[in-house]
Amino acid sequence: MKLVILDRDGVINYDSAEFIKTPEEWKPIPGSLEAIARLNQAGWRVVIATNQSGVGRGLLDMAMLNAIHDKMHKALAQAGGRIDAVFYCPHAQDANCSCRKPKPGLLEDIALRFNVDLAGVPCIGDSPRDLQAAAQVAAQPILVLTGKGKQTAAAGGLPANTQVYADLDAAVQSIAP
């Protein structure tokens, strides 16, 4: 199975320091939906692994998170694409859970659910925690320079073999040309 794992905020949609709390605040980064559709058309399964601590902080509830994801799924369908599954950590940072990236729990759950070894699986994110989680499960860390990506690249200290691309569209061109 060809599998790719994406972070959500800053990779697929614009991020916000105030969190994405409503469907109206969820706005796709130009080219991201079409890039996911190209992955689907090339036979890739696309899964999201995202920290959503706004739920744990009380900034939004599960119904609102589901409404945001519904908007994302509908926008993707209009672009000819789909997300096969969304895995999220709803906990606040101080919960010390195993699913909040940079811990590998979300990715381990994906491996279990899809019955796949994540070694070499492209894992695309914009923050150090996305890349660190990928490296812990031997996935291929890929940094995009959207969202927090430019700051992440400038800070250095990226996991070994991290690939860097301007955005999701450019990353997908390297995965599924």
Encoded amino acid at 103, one letter: K
pLDDT of residue 177: 78
7 is catalytic: yes
Report d(CA 164, CA 149) in Å as an integer. Answer: 9
9 is catalytic: yes
pTM (2 d.p.) = 0.97
Q: pLDDT tens per residue, the chain (177 residues)?
A: 899 999 999 999 999 988 899 999 999 999 999 999 999 999 999 999 999 999 999 999 999 999 999 999 999 999 999 999 999 999 988 888 999 999 999 999 999 999 999 999 999 999 999 999 999 999 999 999 999 999 999 999 999 999 999 999 999 999 987
Q: How many domains does the chain have?
A: 1
Report d(CA 77, CA 176) in Å as an integer. Answer: 19
First-last CA distance in the chain: 17
pLDDT of residue 93: 86
Residue 156, domain extent: 2-175
Report d(CA 103, CA 83) in Å as an integer. Answer: 23
**Can you list the alpha helix ranges (DSSP code H) found in 1-155?**
32-41, 53-56, 62-78, 105-114, 128-136, 149-155
Q: Is the dihedral of CA 116, 118, 119, 125 positive or negative?
A: positive
pLDDT of residue 17: 87
Q: How many residues does the chain have?
A: 177
CATH code at position 129: 3.40.50.1000
For the stretch 29-76, pLDDT in tens is 999 999 999 999 999 999 999 999 999 999 999 999 999 999 999 999
